[in-house]
């Protein structure tokens, strides 16, 4: 399986916070992420697609696609990978800055809608680099599965990775979920991964440490998305040839 970095391990600070975290915080975070995904897909999805599908980005994709169709070699294929590696970089920076800013004032939950929008924008931009437009429920479910997988580890990561690769190969999911079900699954993974940082972000000034992790998790998702969309692209080219 491809390596893209380990999920940040629980630090001494995280372990010290275990006894202080309210019992209901995980469920509160889960509901907040579910609502954020629903709002973005219902209200802000068009705006995200509009900012992603810029004329410049489309022109760059057409040029890369033309070059690789004309001559498929390592150099031309690497241009897709380079573009994907840079996709979402602005979202990572903005998310980190927003998380730190809200952490100064001890604000965590209001940060979740912005973080979720930046997270999806990051995945959309990465997909767009390889010519995949996230417009249908099928593509949105894949984007959410990528987010869920990126924030898992160990055997869970291996299982998610196999299922995504199986979808690329066969065109269907071993575990077929509706968009709403997948929103909840991705939100559950996000709330588990970010539990400590969001708790810490509620503490004024000290919340800067928690807020700074927004960019770390977003970057992890972007790296995994770049790996998976690249694999999908290469598999489809292989099948077409």
Q: pLDDT-derived band of residue 19, with 50, 70 and 90 as boundaries?
A: low
Least confident of 17-26, 35-44, 131-140, 176-185: 17-26
Mean pLDDT score of the chain: 75
- Enclosing H/E stretch for 21: none
DSSP assigned state of 27: H
Q: What is the pLDDT of residue 46?
A: 73
What average pLDDT score do residues 124-133 get?
A: 89
Asked whether 99 and 199 are in contact (CB, 8 A), the reply is: no
Look at 51-55, 71-75, 112-116, 139-143 and tell me which has the smallest mean pLDDT.
51-55
Q: Do 42 and 192 contact (CB within 8 A), yes or no?
A: no
Q: Determine the pLDDT at residue 200.
A: 54
Split at pLDDT 50, 70, 90, the class of 176 is: confident
pLDDT at 22 over 90: no
SS3 content of the chain, % helix, strand, coil (to 5): 75, 0, 25
| Per-residue pLDDT, 191 | 87
Task: Give the mean pLDDT of 139-164.
Answer: 94
Report whether 218 contacts 95 (CB < 8 A). yes
pLDDT at 230 over 60: yes
Q: What is the dihedral of CA 224, 226, 232, 236, to 10 degrees?
A: -170
Query: Residues 84-120: pLDDT tens digits?
Result: 666 655 544 444 444 434 443 344 445 788 888 888 9
Per-residue model confidence (pLDDT) at position 151: 92
88: left (phi over 0), alpha (psi -120 to 50) or beta: left
């Amino acid at each position: 399986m491809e390596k893209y970095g380990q999920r940040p391990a629980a630090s001494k600070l995280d372990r010290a916070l275990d006894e202080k975290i309210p019992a209901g915080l995980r469920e509160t975070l889960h509901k907040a992420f579910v609502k954020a995904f629903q709002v973005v897909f219902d209200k802000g999805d068009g705006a995200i697609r509009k900012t992603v599908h810029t004329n410049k980005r489309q022109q760059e994709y057409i040029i890369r696609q033309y070059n690789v169709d004309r001559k498929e070699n390592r150099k031309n294929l690497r241009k897709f990978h380079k573009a994907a590696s840079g996709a979402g970089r602005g979202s990572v920076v903005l998310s980190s800055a927003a998380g730190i800013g809200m952490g100064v004032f001890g604000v965590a939950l209001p940060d979740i809608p912005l973080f979720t929008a930046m997270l999806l924008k990051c995945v959309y931009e990465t997909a767009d680099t390889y010519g995949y437009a996230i417009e249908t429920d099928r593509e949105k479910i894949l984007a959410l599965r990528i987010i869920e997988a990126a924030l898992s580890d160990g055997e869970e990561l291996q299982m998610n990775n196999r299922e995504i690769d199986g979808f690329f190969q066969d065109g269907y999911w071993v575990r077929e979920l509706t968009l709403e079900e997948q929103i909840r699954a991705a939100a559950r993974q996000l709330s588990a991964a970010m539990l400590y940082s969001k708790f810490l972000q509620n503490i004024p000034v000290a919340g800067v440490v928690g807020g700074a992790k927004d960019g770390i998790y977003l970057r992890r998702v972007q790296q995994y998305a770049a790996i998976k969309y690249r694999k999908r692209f290469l598999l489809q080219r292989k099948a077409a040839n």
